[in-house]
A and B are shown apart, each in its own frame.
Chain A
Amino acid sequence: MMLGVDIRKRLDDFTLDAKFTAQDGGSVTALFGPSGAGKTMTLKCIAGLLVPDEGCITLGWDSLYESDRGIDVPARDRRVGYLFQSYALFPTMTVEGNIACGMRTGSREERAERVAEQIRAFRLEGLEKRRPHQLSGGEQQRVALARCLVNDPAVLLLDEPFSAIDEELKRELEDELMEHLAGFAGPCILVSHDRAEVERLSSKIVEIRGGHAR
């Protein structure tokens, strides 16, 4: 299912005007631009965390947002996976607890089994009972990604996934991230201000400058 974005949102000193598409089938679309260009704002509109003034956001034949028809699917029903720049792990919950939060359905046993599966797939064995502040940046990112993917999202949004990571580790984590994303078939948008990173990881680059994305 292709993701189509065509939205406008006006703030006091900033106007977002974004029109682009993101293909599915394992390709990554990069949203590339300097900080303050409106990258995160665009992601939040797609996830339903911010409401645009007008336009539409479509996923396949479905509208997630359409100002003309008054459609605005709430964030919790959009099935949009969002990897936050700060990872946004729940600080009072363990690694296991955080991943379990991503589960929408299933009995207690099924959930526990799925969580255990994710723990293995993301090489988090032994860290199940740790809390986020006891993990390294790379481990936090793996937990956040495991929590996103266990939720079975239709779209995946990655907000500057490597900005908090040391330069030496970055390449290694990029490879690792792409490995974990290999099984994800929906549209994936990567937000970044690093041109080299974008060129390495994505198959399509959308430039965003001063709120303007085409």
Chain B
Amino acid sequence: MDWFPLINSLRIAALATAAVFLLGIWLAGAVAKLPRAWKALVDVVLTLPLVLPPTVVGFLLLMVLGPRRPLGAWALEVFGVRLTMVWYAAVFASVVVAFPLMYRTARGAFEGFDEDLADAARTLGKGEVWIFWRVKLPSCRTSIIAGAVLAFARALGEYGATSMVAGYTPGVTATVSTTVYQLWQIGNDALALRWVLVNIAISAVALFVLNWLEGRDREGRRRR
């Protein structure tokens, strides 16, 4: 069994989770500060990938990243790299699809944050940056880690948009999910089933971690 699809899936999901982690926290904080009317609109746009069909996300990504499209042409000209049909193209797809999970979890955590804690820090002479890193983020830690785990699980399961922007090239862009589809199409059900089991195992572990985190968080709240 060639393990490339697993390694490729894991590196894509890891990179996408790292990007989504930072983007989600940053935008959750930024959106909370917007005026109400703008907040509603921006919130819808940022959550949309959660409910859109992956093919729509893939289509929109191709419109931007394709070699003859604005961003794709720019990257090709300046850096000489293609943004589609390469393994890291799947990172873009996974980021867009997994982003709403991280964003909404972080937003929920920030909304539940006790502003008195930030005010107390202000009266003690602390600046906003210190407050964010030392008080706000640690207080919301469990929810934010849970959001990242959920985003990782979703990124790992990405198929639709990925197959459109990265395609399926064995040993180059193949992921676990695209490999399962390919093997099923050529009738290699035995090998497809093995990849299916690998995928189920990883996703189940991610969900166990998620449940454990949430259980721990509830216990922490009860003791408070």
Contacts and interface: CB of A to CB of B under 8 A. Distances in A.
Contact of B114 (A49, A82, A88, A148): A88
Contact of B116 (A78, A79, A81, A88): A88
A75 B123 CA distance: 5
B199 interface: no
Contacts of B112: none
Interface in A105-132: 132
B224 A101 contact: no
B70 interface: no
Contacts of B121: 90, 101
B35 to A, nearest CB: 16
Contact of A82 (B120, B139, B220): B120
Contacts of B119: 44, 47, 49, 75, 82, 84, 88
Interface string B119-163: 111111111000000110011010000000000000000000000
A102 B224 contact: no
A136 interface: no
Nearest to A102: B124
B200 interface: no
Interface in B179-224: 220, 223-224
A32 B4 CA distance: 71
A76 B120 contact: no
Q: How large is the interface on A (under 10, 10 to 19, 20 to 34, 35 or more residues)?
A: 20 to 34
Nearest to B138: A92
Contacts of B120: 82, 84, 88, 90
B213 to A, nearest CB: 15
A55 B134 CA distance: 34
B50 interface: no
B125 A80 contact: no
A15 interface: no
B126 A86 contact: no
B7 interface: no
B114, B121, B125, B127: most-surrounded residue (chain A CB, <10 A) = B125
A42 to B, nearest CB: 14
Contacts of B224: 91, 132-133
Contacts of A80: 123
B117, B123, B224: most-surrounded residue (chain A CB, <10 A) = B123
A76 B125 contact: yes
A77 interface: yes
Contacts of A47: 119, 122-123
B119 to A, nearest CB: 5
B120, B127, B223: most-surrounded residue (chain A CB, <10 A) = B120
Interface in B88-126: 114, 116-117, 119-126
Nearest to A76: B125
B122 A91 contact: no
10 cross-chain pairs, A with B, having the tightest CB-CB distances, nearest first: A88-B120, A92-B138, A75-B122, A133-B224, A88-B116, A82-B123, A76-B125, A49-B119, A84-B116, A133-B223
Interface of A: 44, 47-49, 74-82, 84, 86, 88, 90-92, 101-102, 104, 132-134, 147-148, 151
27 contacts: A48-B123, A49-B119, A75-B123, A76-B123, A76-B124, A76-B125, A76-B126, A77-B125, A78-B123, A79-B125, A81-B123, A82-B119, A82-B120, A82-B123, A84-B119, A86-B116, A88-B117, A90-B117, A90-B120, A90-B134, A91-B139, A92-B139, A101-B121, A101-B124, A133-B223, A133-B224, A134-B223
